[in-house]
Structure 1
Amino acid sequence: MFEYCADPKSLEGLTWLSCYLTSGTHMQFYASFGTVLLLLAITAPIALLFGFGGALAARSHVAPLRWFGKIYTSMVRGVPDIVFFMFVPIALDQLFEYLRSRVYCDTSVPVRQGSDFVVCAAAKLPRATSPEWVHDSYGMFLAVLAFSVVFGAFAANVLYGAMNSVPRAQLETAEAYGMTRRQMNRRILIPQMWVYAVPGLSNLWMILIKATPLLFLLGIEDIVYWARQLGASKTQAFAYPHPDWRLYYFLAILIFYLLMTAISERVLRRISRRLSLGQATMAGEAMRKAGA
């Protein structure tokens, strides 16, 4: 990055360190923090949407929808997260390639050849000739989908409980005024449920933050990947040789996650306080008494 970094072997002390920390691989390491934040920014609303749909399906009067909602929440929550993080991307990747093979490949050739899954080059996703950003985007897409499916099930369970926590008297009053079920959901149930859902969703958000290091299992060059690569000992064959520094890199990651959780706690506390204002809940009553 700096002009004096042209010959790293002639550098010493802080000059060497400044060149080392601004090398191209370190820039990728710094950018990987943005990858984690991007994953959180995309996954959280999608998982919440999945959870909202799963909760409504579990409360549906239509039996198939109700079964689907309950099976979705029970099955995903009952399987270890890492299994789904490995299964969903592989299953989706093979599904997409299978569908493309029915269009672009000879359909007489089976895609299952023994224990191998083989499709023609035209059906591969992404294509071998695609630029690197397409490969990265496709990997991120599969990762977001895997995280959303898993955490959407947990969100569905939280929202389902929050919907059941809304006082039944409010719904009966709305029904007495002639509101339809859809009107009750839109005007009474959904606005009221958030005050009960925020504590559970707050915990889920913290778990989602802690789960982001699993990205490297999906082949994405995240902060854990680069910490392992950069922190490992480097011999004289490298431009910047050094002993095993993984402890320091993972310490930096530790500080990053602690800052993330500290900021999240403050924001979520303010959201919970805002939603509890004027509500007939323990938090709402405590705020009313404090104001009195």
Structure 2
Amino acid sequence: MFDFCTDPAQLEGARWLSCYLTTGKHMNLYWSVLTVLALLGITAPVALAFGFGGASAARSGFAPLRWIGKSYIAIVRGVPDIAFFLFFVIALDQGIEYLRHRALCPDWDQPVRQGNDFIVCQAAKMPLGSAPQWVHETYGFSLAVLTFAIVFGAFAANVLFGAMRAVPRAQLETAEAYGMSPRQTFWRVLVPQMWVYALPGLGNLWMVLIKATPLLFLLGVEDIVYWARELGGSKTPRFTDYPHPDWRMWYFLALLVFYLCFTRVSEIVIARLMTRLTRGQATTGGEAQRKAA
């Protein structure tokens, strides 16, 4: 990046370090931080949408819909995250390719399943082998977002389902006495008040989601843990312009600081949001605010 980095062998001290930290692989490390933040920023609302849909279905009066909601919560929560990530991504990828294969290659006369191999025509590949690199990366990132959203959406659904049941029944009955329909009671009374009961569980789930981002490598996304391990390993002059001993401890220490700072900021934001939500509510926090006022 800098003009004086043309000959690393002649550098030392701060100049060597500045050139080392701006190599192409380190830029990939910095981009992977943005990838993790983008994953969290997109996954959190999508998972919350899955959770809200699952919780609403689980408390539905329509039995088949209620069974679907409760089955979604029970099945996804009961499967280890790693096993679900490995199974779901492969199954979804092969399912998309199979549907494309049937649509784009109707004349294919060979079985798709050949032993342990899954073989489709080249036109059905997702993404296509001739597609640019950004398409491959976007496709992998999209699968990662969907997988994380489904997994953590099930946990969010369980939290929201409990929060909906925690809203005092008397308030719902009062809304019904004022002539509100079940739909109006749900959206105007139940949903606004459930968040104060759901936020502690959702806050814990957000922390777990932050800690789960290193699982991105299972989905083929090069995350910060991958690059920290790659860059921190010992390098010899034969393979790199910036040789160094094993520095993985320092790279992982930097990751430790990053995650601790990120979770601390999250705790502050969640605490302020909790204070705002409890204002005027018939909860312990709301009662403490009324006494303080």
How many residue pairs match? The answer is 291
List alignment gaps of at least 5 residues for structure 1: none
Q: How does 1:182-221 map to 2 (within 5 A)?
A: 182-221=183-222
Tell me the equivalent position of 1:124. 125
Listed one character per residue, the Cα deviations across residues 37-94 of structure 1 (whole Å, up to 9, x for unaligned) are: 0000000000000000000000011111000000100111111111112122111101
Q: Percent same amino acid at aligned positions?
A: 68
Listed one character per residue, the Cα deviations across residues 85-108 of structure 1 (whole Å, up to 9, x for unaligned) are: 212211110111011000112353
| Distance in 2 separating the partners of 1:91 and 1:286 | 51
Tell me the equivalent position of 1:147. 148
Scaled by the length of structure 2, the TM-score of the pair is 0.97
Tell me the equivalent position of 2:46. 46
Listed one character per residue, the Cα deviations across residues 166-203 of structure 1 (whole Å, up to 9, x for unaligned) are: 11011111112222111110111101111111111000
| Distance in 1 separating the partners of 2:119 and 2:14 | 52
| Distance in 1 separating the partners of 2:136 and 2:241 | 28
Q: Provide the secondary structure at the position in 2 that maps to 1:178.
A: coil
1:278 to 271, 275, 280: 280
Q: Provide the secondary structure at the position in 2 that maps to 1:185.
A: helix
Listed one character per residue, the Cα deviations across residues 9-44 of structure 1 (whole Å, up to 9, x for unaligned) are: 121222111110111111111111000000000000
The letter of the residue matching 1:164 is: R
Q: How does 1:1-292 map to 2 (within 5 A)?
A: 1-105=1-105, 106-237=107-238, 238-291=240-293
Deviating runs (4+, > 4 A) in structure 1? none
The letter of the residue matching 2:17 is: L
| Distance in 2 separating the partners of 1:120 and 1:183 | 52
Scaled by the length of structure 1, the TM-score of the pair is 0.98
| Distance in 2 separating the partners of 1:272 and 1:109 | 59
Aligned Cα RMSD in Å? 0.9
The letter of the residue matching 2:46 is: I
| Distance in 1 separating the partners of 2:114 and 2:182 | 52
Q: Which moved more, 1:100-109 or 1:262-271?
A: 100-109
